[in-house]
Amino acid sequence: MADAGTAEIRELVVAAEDGRQRADRAVADLTGLSRAYVQKLISAGHLTDGGRPVRANEAVGPGTRLTLVVPPPEPLALEPEPIPLPVVYEDPDVLVVDKPAGLVVHPSPGHASGTMVNALLARGEVFGGIAGVRRPGIVHRLDRDTSGLLMVARTDAAQASLMAQLKARRVKKTYLTLAWGSLAASVGRIEAPIGRDPQHRIRMAVVPDGRESVTGYRVRERFPGWTLLEVDLVTGRTHQVRVHLAAIGHPIAGDPIYATGAARRGPDGLSRLFLHAWRLEFAAPSDGHLVRVNAPLPDELELVLARLRGGDRQGSRPGPPSVGTHPR
């Protein structure tokens, strides 16, 4: 990361497996910077190809060499806030936190404070800075209404390693979710491209020109009218699980955006989106050994399942939470 007052120059190469795509999307993926910030840099003329300014919507293909100039970071105006943030695993490179539902991950318009980043700053640590001054240590995100596991990098090297693992799909992210109805297959895979909904720009949708999106699922438990699923994210698009399950007619219980009627209300006692990032598996940045971390369902979701278990059901409950490291 560049020192304060010094612009950083990043030389980027579009990988063969990424195909042709918009320049702003390619740069965001390669750098870990937000797409909105990348677009701002491009508008200011900070992205070039052989000295020629590149437009945000310009298509760039495999092997394209781009130069991005990142200006010095603005003075950090974020304040530490003593927000409870359970840490379920840590080593010299990484923290894994169990984010509660309702907590925004990092500052954004409308959320200048009260975020997970504010809680991290209250720990008095320095985190990886390659994702930008307002995203210290941030490697990936969860929706505000989703609870569960998030990796936080303590160093630039760790942040780069974890971001590279995510890009190469070597991080395994598994969720627990309660879906409306009864899925016919006990094991399934949803492959449908996701992009911005052309009719409702604040939503995502399955659209022909969307980005490749793949979700796998396994039935963990069946109830009358509902199915508890274990879901694997092969890709990591915005609202991916929510969009994919809604697209096949089984929206997530309590989803205020993609569900309607009884599915949106959820079973008795549900007061939030029933989606929890339950398990993470990744390679430790320092030596590559496998780290596997589980986080139990929050009490409010377990209580909903306990009520459903009062009736007929099939299947088994998810195993107990655990934290471990494993040789690769």
Is the fold of 8-70 the same as that of 172-326?
no
Over the stretch 262-305, which tens digit does the pLDDT of each residue have? 999 999 999 999 999 999 999 999 999 999 999 999 999 999 99
Q: Where are the domains of the chain?
A: 8-70, 87-160, 172-326
d(CA 293, CA 88): 8
Single-letter code of the amino acid located at 192:
A
- Name which of 28-37, 116-125, 294-303, 311-320 the model is least confident about: 311-320
For residues 120 and 134, is the Cβ–Cβ distance under 8 A? no
| Strand pairing report for 147-153 and 275-283 | parallel
The tokens of 35 are what?
Answer: 């797409």
8-70 — its CATH code? 3.10.290.10
CATH 3.30.2350.10 given to domain 172-326: yes
d(CA 260, CA 8): 47
Burial group, residue 175, by CB count within 10 angstroms (0-12, 13-18, 19+): buried
Over the stretch 159-175, which tens digit does the pLDDT of each residue have? 999 999 998 999 999 99
d(CA 103, CA 211): 27
**Torsion angle in degrees (nearest 10) through CA of 40, 44, 45, 47:** -30
Q: Most confidently modeled of 96-110, 172-186, 194-208?
A: 172-186
Element (H, E) at 263: helix 261-265
- Return the percent helix, strand and coil in the chain, to nearest 5: 20, 30, 50
Phi, psi of 83 (to 5 degrees): -90, 130
Q: Please check the confidence at residue 17 and state whether its pLDDT lies above 80.
A: no
Phi, psi of 104 (to 5 degrees): -75, 140
For residues 188 and 216, is the Cβ–Cβ distance under 8 A? yes
Please pick, among 143, 145, 197, 255, the residue that the annotation labels catalytic: 143
For residues 228 and 221, is the Cβ–Cβ distance under 8 A? yes
For residues 181 and 304, is the Cβ–Cβ distance under 8 A? no
87-160 — its CATH code? 3.30.2350.10
Q: Residues 171-184: what's their mean pLDDT?
A: 97
Over the stretch 77-102, which tens digit does the pLDDT of each residue have? 678 889 999 999 999 999 999 999 99
Examine the residue annotation and report whether 143 is marked as an active-site residue of this protein: yes
d(CA 30, CA 163): 9
Closest CA to 147 of 322, 302, 38, 15: 302
d(CA 26, CA 89): 32
d(CA 253, CA 99): 19
The tokens of 121 are what?
Answer: 């700053």
205 C-beta neighbours (distance < 10 Å), count: 19
Q: What is the pLDDT of residue 313?
A: 45
Closest CA to 102 of 254, 303, 250, 259: 254
